[in-house]
Structure 1
Amino acid sequence: MKKLVLMLLIVASQVSVFAQNPKVVISDKNGWHKIGETKVDFKNETDKILVIGANRFSSIKIKVAEAPINLESFVIYFDNDEKQNVTIFQEFKAPGETREVNFGGEKNVKRIEFIYKTIGDNRDKKAHVELWGFKSNP
């Protein structure tokens, strides 16, 4: 019975990861690259985007479309177990985007976790959130 429960938990966590539609970044060209996207679930008001592939970036930004959100903050997790907290507390109408968050050099980004609130009566709409990374290849 314990094995069955454990297996169900593993499968459920994998389904959650694949629902994010992670984009595999294969290009090392300089410039902005879309590195992940998700439809936010206004039930949880927290989400994450995994970064797969060529994940070295010097800065990131988040773009919002289809529905407004109030982005409170996000945390950037790097390969070396370092993390960077970014406080925003800003309303983003669709379309909109955050300011560029610079790392001070290229770093390996593993994932971004963000906290947001719905705006008004938009619980029936889902915002499309994209994560963009800048490659500077110094």
Structure 2
Amino acid sequence: MKRIVLLLAVTFFTFTLVHAQKPEVITNNKAGWHKIGKASVDFKTDKDKFIIIGKDRYKALQVKVKDAPVHMESMQVAYEGGGTEDVALKTQFKPGGESRTIELKNGSAEIKNVTFVYHTVNNASNEKAEIELWGLK
């Protein structure tokens, strides 16, 4: 009985780790656009956080959409040492679409994380969307 409980606990812990948003590590300091990370978007309103290790500095951000349409509600950028910047997107993006270039007001500060509120729009193929977050150094 103890083995079964232990096995179930280990399986649950492993499953939880596999589905958690993984931290994104950026090690490239060259100027230009860099892919920060990607996430799969559910059909219900979802909130995902891109945790950035390395606390990189970006002048601007951009979101790219793949596979299915996405309705973006908002984006929040949290800076190392405190302070946040809210970006109201309230836009529906088609597959292959991208957001405008989002100039950051505090471009000299290190980014700690970026949080999105969004959902995949119902579509005929019932396919979930994937988004990519890009940053401009």
Is 2:82 the counterpart of 1:81? yes
Which runs of no fewer than 5 residues in structure 2 stay unpaired?
1-8
List gaps (5 residues or longer) in structure 1.
Answer: 1-6
Q: Deviations over 1:21-79 (max 9, x none)?
A: 54321111011000111111234522221222251111111111111111111111111
Greater shift, 22-31 or 36-45, is seen at 36-45
The residue matched to 1:51 in structure 2 has which SS?
strand
8 Å CA contact 2:68–2:120 kept in 1: the answer is no
CA shift at 1:112, angstroms? 1.1
TM-score normalised over the length of structure 1: 0.77
Whole-Å separation in 2 of the counterparts to 1:54 and 1:31: 17
Counterpart Cα distance in 2 of 1:63 and 1:34: 10
The one-letter code sitting in structure 1 at the alignment partner of 2:59 is: S
Normalized per residue, the structure richer in strand is 1
- Single out whichever of 92-101 and 116-125 deviates more from structure 2: 116-125
CA RMSD of aligned residues (A): 2.6
The structure with more radius of gyration: 2
* Structure 2 partner of 1:114: 116
* Larger deviation, residues 116-125 vs 40-49: 116-125
Question: How many residues were matched structurally?
Answer: 126
Identity %: 35
Partner Cα separation in structure 1 for residue 124 and residue 115 of structure 2? 21
